[in-house]
Amino acid sequence: MKYGIIGYSGRMGREIDALFREKGHEFALGIDDKKAEIVSNPEVLIDFSLPFALEKTLDLISKYKCPLISGVTGYTAEQMNLIRALANTVPVVQSFNFSPGIQLMLKMTRLLKESLKDWDVEISETHHRFKKDKPSGTAKMLAAAVGREIPISSLRLGNIPGDHTIAFGGLGEILSISHRVLSRRTFAEGVILSADFALRRQSGYFTFTDVLFQE
């Protein structure tokens, strides 16, 4: 497929570009706040930029009328509405975490929250020292999956790509689920799955959970 990347020179942008090339896909467009490289019309747009760039993203989708895969975090409620509105005309896959393991972790968490209503729950996440947001978007998704107020501990340590643990504690036992990213390539693989999925849709708003478990 011909792909375009918004947030092209960011860490995830480069990782995605490298994997798409490796898999034989064709680079069509790369855009950043500093530069733009346009080779051809993209069949899918992948956005790993920052919230302030949303207008640019909307312009590009309106121009190319192609699916959007969005991994941008930190949108306001208004910006989220714009993304959802977009899904009326093109397929949109939006997620804060494109790792299959995290999706399974969310699924298990939903399963446990019913059975362990009276147990304490604690979420902890550890990331590299360069990560600026606290807690991670994934930790917030885990808390949302439990559906009640959950404390989140955020550790910043060396160059850890991303560890998450959710622990359920009763008076006699502890049950926990842990996830550890070994390399950012994991997310890039999730983006490819999402692009494949989106290209088979006409329009609609989807999450990475739909990509993995629908169909």
- In eight-state DSSP terms, residue 189 is H
CB of 9 to its own copies, least distance (A): 18
Residue from the set 36, 38, 80, 157 that interacts with its own copies by CB under 8 A: 157
H/E run at residue 136: none
Assigned token pair, 194: 């999402």
Asked if 21 touches its own copies (CB under 8 A), the answer is no
Is 113 a binding residue for its own copies by CB under 8 A? The answer is no
Check if 65 is active-site.
no
Nearest to residue 145, comparing CAs of 93, 107, 176? Answer: 107
N residues, the chain: 215
Q: Near its own copies by CB under 8 A, which window of 1-9, 50-58, 147-155, 199-207?
A: 147-155
**179 touching its own copies, by CB under 8 A:** yes
Q: Which range, of 36-44, 59-67, 84-92, 167-175, touches its own copies by CB under 8 A?
A: 167-175
| Catalytic residue (choose from 2, 25, 56, 131) | 131
173 sits near its own copies (criterion: CB under 8 A): yes
Active site residue 140: no
CB 207 within 8 A of CB 215: no
- With CB under 8 A as the contact rule, the residue among 119, 137, 140, 210 that binds its own copies is 119
- How many Cβ atoms from other residues are within 10 Å of residue 74's Cβ? 12
Residue 105 in the binding site for its own copies (CB under 8 A): yes
What are the two backbone dihedrals, phi and then psi, of residue 131, each rounded to the nearest 5 degrees? -70, 130
In angstroms, rounded to a whole number, what is the distance separating the alpha carbons of residues 145 and 214? 18
The span from the CA of 63 to the CA of 183, in Å, is: 34
List 3, 8, 187, 206, residue binding its own copies (CB under 8 A): 187
CA distance 100 to 188: 11
Residues interacting with its own copies, by CB under 8 A?
99-101, 104-105, 107-108, 111-112, 115-116, 119-120, 122, 124, 126, 129, 151, 153-161, 167-189, 212
